[in-house]
């Protein structure tokens, strides 16, 4: 008869792991229970997982796997103190779909040798199995209210790991996790390499963790642009990265596509050919309904300003499409940018300090602003109204020939082809109420072209007030001589020196008045009180500093038309 186990009394309290299990002749599962004995027999303890029938020829033990359910203190005892009851525990190695890899024989004292008071009572714990299932990576795309996550945009992703139906996010948790399954509790061995690889793939796409819980997003000031580009393509980039995607139902129908932009310019007063003011409206048609997009322009400019500038133009770059929040805040409208790129500079200038003007359905533009806007709009735009203004824009861009202006008989000179073209252009500016800069090189006849232009105005009966020429003192004599030589029918008056006051009162009776820049400020009241048909600034770079008195007076002159001449513009 075997001798009783040798009793060892420790000098301090030691924990004792006690194993309680049902009778399992055909194998089963046991779960350890731990009790603390301050005195008693020390027996060898082990972590316990799945159990199987004993094999009679197994006679050596291996160390337990590190991924067991719970830890217990192991204390060595001499074999002679242990009873011969034998249980075989089997632990699988930490790799997918493995067979038995580790075998250990564990001895436990005979129940008969343990006092009843120390025996655990109550129901047997539920079975626990250990699994290393194949891992799949699940990514759920969520629509998040703007107020909830204002910094990270309107879409976030919830990452979790699916172990054959058991989904979760454990971050820096243990390598093994206990979950409740339909067949009982399951101890899952996590595939840390696969989980780390999934997070690395998100990081490569610019998606970062937003904190705890497995929530990911794109940090930065404009993250929704990237999310919406992916959403517009069905999140193909994430599927291609190996994620099992689930999208929030709130994302259905989030993006509406606008195939083209409709632009309308309406003259606000008079004939559109001469109207000084226009109303600009922009719209897109979605599902048969027109939506004004003018209120979106500040957001569009802000989105563009966040992009790196184009090295060639210095203007902000735009992706092929931008996504602007739809009216009412429900979803987004995908707006093509091909038509917007050519007039980005005009938009930047229009927005400037006028962002408050964009809250209405239309924007009031001056004739020059309307002309510039219509001139730079590209393809993909549907035009409505302002036919004359758009025709003017085409002529200014050289896409339409300017009308030929006959040289009047009063001009005693034959114009060269480029001078004839200059005369055509000056008359074109006058006809459309525009100012301009004639910037031919020195010696190419800017004076002759200007005098011919004034002669045309006189012969047409439009010169009802004098034309004023402001020039450097050194050029005043040249203006008078060429006027007498090429246009003898023009009555000219030079105002200079002390005797100018004696004749200045009669300057309205002349066709051409010539004066130096130095008198602009000195005779300020005289110039500002007069009405001028045309003001010509020769060598106009003299007033390039807008803060000078001469520049301020020149800008305040009352004139129907304005013209600058400069060989060095």
What is the domain-level CATH number for residue 425?
3.40.50.10810
User: Are 423 and 547 within one domain?
Assistant: yes
Q: Please say which residue of 126, 156, 171 terminates a domain.
A: 126
Q: How far, in Å, CA of 186 to CA of 67, rounded?
A: 13
| Number of neighbours of residue 403 by Cβ within 10 angstroms | 10
Question: Which one of 126, 145, 165 terminates a domain?
Answer: 126
With left for phi above 0 and alpha for psi between -120 and 50, is residue 568 left, alpha or beta?
Answer: beta
Does residue 539 lie in a domain region? yes
Q: Are residues 340 and 436 in the same domain?
A: no
- Angle between helices 344-351 and 297-305 in degrees, nearest 10: 110
| Co-location of 181 and 216 in the same domain | yes
| Domain carrying residue 158 | 135-252
Answer yes or no: do 240 and 321 share one domain.
no
Residue 223 lies in a domain: yes
Query: 118-154 as b/e, with b when 16 or more CB fall inside 10 Å?
Result: eeeeeeebebbebebbebbbbbbbbbbeeeebeebbb
Q: Are residues 103 and 208 in the same domain?
A: no
For strands 492-494 and 184-189, give the pairing: unpaired
Are residue 122 and residue 175 in the same domain, yes or no?
no
Q: How many domains does the chain have?
A: 4
Do 158 and 114 have their domain in common? no
Establish if 269 belongs to a structural domain: no
Query: β-pairing, 492-494 with 512-516?
Result: parallel
What's 243's DSSP letter?
Answer: -
User: Cα 299 vs. chain centroid, distance in angstroms?
Assistant: 10
- The answer to the question of residue 320 being in a domain is yes
Whether 328 and 200 map to the same domain: the answer is no
**Which uninterrupted H or E stretch holds 465?**
none
Domain boundary among 396, 425, 449: 396
Read off the tokens for 224: 């929704």
Same domain for 309 and 240: no
258 within some domain = no
Residue 70, in any domain of the structure: yes
Q: Do 59 and 113 fall into the same domain?
A: yes
Could you tell me the pTM of the whole model? Answer: 0.45
Q: What pLDDT does residue 466 have? A: 93
Q: Do 216 and 324 have their domain in common?
A: no
Write out the chain's pLDDT in tens, 569 residues: 444 433 333 332 222 222 323 333 333 333 333 333 333 333 333 333 333 333 333 333 333 333 323 333 333 333 322 222 222 222 222 333 333 333 333 334 444 544 544 555 556 555 555 555 555 666 677 665 444 434 444 678 888 888 878 888 887 778 888 888 777 888 888 888 888 888 899 888 888 888 778 888 877 655 567 788 888 888 888 888 888 888 887 777 778 777 777 777 777 666 666 666 777 777 777 766 777 777 776 666 666 666 777 777 666 677 777 777 776 666 777 877 776 666 666 666 655 545 445 555 566 777 777 776 666 655 445 555 556 666 776 666 665 678 889 999 999 888 999 999 999 989 988 887 788 888 888 878 899 999 999 999 999 999 999 999 999 998 888 999 999 999 999 999 998 888 888 888 888 889 999 999 988 888 888 889 899 999 999 998 888 888 888 899 998 888 989 999 988 76
Are residues 557 and 490 in contact, defined by beta-carbon separation less than 8 angstroms?
no
Q: Give dist(CA 360, CA 363) in Å, integer.
A: 7
Q: Are 538 and 479 in contact (CB under 8 A)?
A: yes
- Kindly state whether residues 284 and 205 are assigned to the same domain: no
- CA 186 to CA 130: how far, in whole Å? 6
Question: Is 406 among the domain residues?
Answer: no
């Amino acid at each position: 008869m075997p001798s009783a186990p040798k009793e060892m009394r420790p000098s301090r309290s030691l924990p004792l792991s006690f194993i309680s299990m049902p009778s399992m002749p055909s194998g089963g599962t046991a779960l350890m229970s731990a009790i603390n004995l301050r005195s008693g027999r020390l027996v060898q303890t082990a972590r316990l997982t799945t159990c199987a029938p004993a094999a009679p020829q197994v006679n050596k033990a291996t160390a337990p796997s590190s991924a067991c359910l719970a830890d217990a203190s192991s204390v060595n005892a001499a074999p002679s103190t242990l009873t011969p009851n034998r249980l075989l525990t089997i632990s699988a190695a930490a790799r997918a779909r493995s067979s038995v890899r580790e075998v250990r024989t564990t001895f436990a004292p005979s129940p008969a040798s343990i006092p009843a008071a120390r025996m655990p009572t109550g129901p047997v714990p539920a079975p626990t199995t250990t699994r290393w299932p194949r891992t799949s990576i699940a990514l759920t795309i969520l629509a998040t209210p703007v107020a909830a996550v204002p910094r990270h945009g309107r879409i976030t992703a919830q990452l979790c790991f699916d172990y054959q139906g058991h989904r979760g996010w454990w971050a820096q948790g243990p390598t093994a996790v206990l979950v409740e399954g339909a067949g009982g509790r399951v101890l899952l061995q996590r595939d840390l390499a696969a989980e780390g690889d999934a997070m690395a793939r998100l990081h490569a796409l610019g998606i970062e963790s937003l904190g705890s819980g497995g929530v990911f997003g794109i940090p930065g000031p404009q993250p929704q642009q990237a999310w919406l580009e992916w959403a517009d393509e069905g999140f193909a980039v994430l599927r291609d990265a190996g994620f099992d995607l689930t999208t929030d139902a709130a994302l259905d129908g989030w993006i509406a596509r606008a195939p083209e932009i409709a632009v309308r310019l309406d003259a606000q007063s008079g004939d559109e050919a001469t109207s000084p003011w226009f109303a600009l409206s922009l719209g897109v048609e979605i599902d048969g309904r027109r939506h004004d997009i003018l209120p979106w322009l500040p957001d569009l400019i802000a989105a563009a300003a966040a992009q790196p500038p184009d090295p060639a133009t210095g203007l902000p770059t735009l992706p092929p499409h931008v996504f602007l929040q739809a009216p009412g805040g429900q979803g987004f409208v995908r707006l093509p940018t091909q038509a917007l790129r050519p007039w980005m500079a005009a938009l930047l200038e229009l927005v400037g300090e006028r962002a408050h003007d964009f809250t209405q359905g239309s924007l009031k533009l001056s004739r020059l602003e309307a002309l510039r806007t219509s001139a730079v709009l590209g393809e993909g735009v549907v035009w409505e109204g302002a036919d004359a203004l758009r025709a003017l824009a085409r002529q200014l861009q050289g896409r339409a020939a300017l009308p030929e202006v006959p040289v009047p008989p009063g001009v005693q000179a034959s114009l060269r082809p480029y001078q004839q073209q200059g005369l055509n252009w000056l008359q074109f500016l006058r006809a459309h109420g525009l100012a301009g800069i004639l910037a031919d090189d020195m010696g190419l006849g800017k004076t002759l072209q200007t005098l011919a232009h004034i002669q045309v105005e006189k012969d047409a009966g439009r010169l009802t007030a004098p034309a004023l020429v402001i020039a450097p003192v050194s050029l005043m004599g040249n203006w008078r001589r060429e006027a007498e030589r090429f246009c003898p029918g023009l009555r000219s008056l030079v105002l200079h020196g002390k005797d100018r006051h004696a004749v200045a009162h009669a300057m309205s009776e002349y066709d051409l008045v010539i004066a130096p820049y130095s008198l602009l400020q000195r005779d300020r009241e005289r110039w500002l009180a007069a009405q001028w048909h045309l003001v010509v600034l020769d060598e106009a770079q003299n007033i390039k500093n807008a803060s000078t008195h001469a520049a301020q007076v020149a800008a305040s002159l009352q004139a129907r038309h304005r013209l600058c001449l400069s060989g060095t513009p």
